[in-house]
Amino acid sequence: MTGKFVISKIHEGFRFNLKAANGEIILTSQPYSALSSCKKGIESIRTNAPIAPVEDQTIDGYIKENSPKFEIYQYKNGDYRFRLNAKNGELIGTGQRYTSKAACQNGIDSIKKNSVEAIIVEEEN
């Protein structure tokens, strides 16, 4: 079983979620005004995620990575989250909140694993 990109129609246009094989959402895109742009966002993840280094912004003096990259950051309440930036530095999508950095890193690893082979599904509205 493989992951899947699920495209949904939203008020602002379209958005997709990347779901792991177990059905858990591991990444949510930004809104896109057109379906074609949303699909280009999916292709950007397939291209960028597997090669993107991780910039761990929770470490003092962290090393800034070039894009494409995953950025791990921490909320004031202690939760961790990540975002994926494309080669041009634009935000492609964000991960869910995690209670540990290890779980956040697992989410990134899951995207690297699931994004390339994931099927695309358009939700019926």
Between CA 65 and CA 68 the distance in angstroms is 8
Q: Model's pTM, two decimal places?
A: 0.91
Give domain 4-122's CATH number out of 3.30.70.1350, 3.30.70.141, 2.30.29.80, 2.40.50.140: 2.30.29.80
pLDDT tens for each residue of 67-114: 999 999 999 899 999 999 999 999 999 999 999 999 999 999 999 988
Q: What is the pLDDT of residue 1?
A: 61
User: Half-sphere exposure of 61 toward its Cβ, with a 13 Å CA cutoff?
Assistant: 0
pLDDT in tens, 29-63: 999 999 999 999 999 999 999 999 999 999 999 99
- How far apart are alpha carbons 50 and 47 in whole angstroms? 7
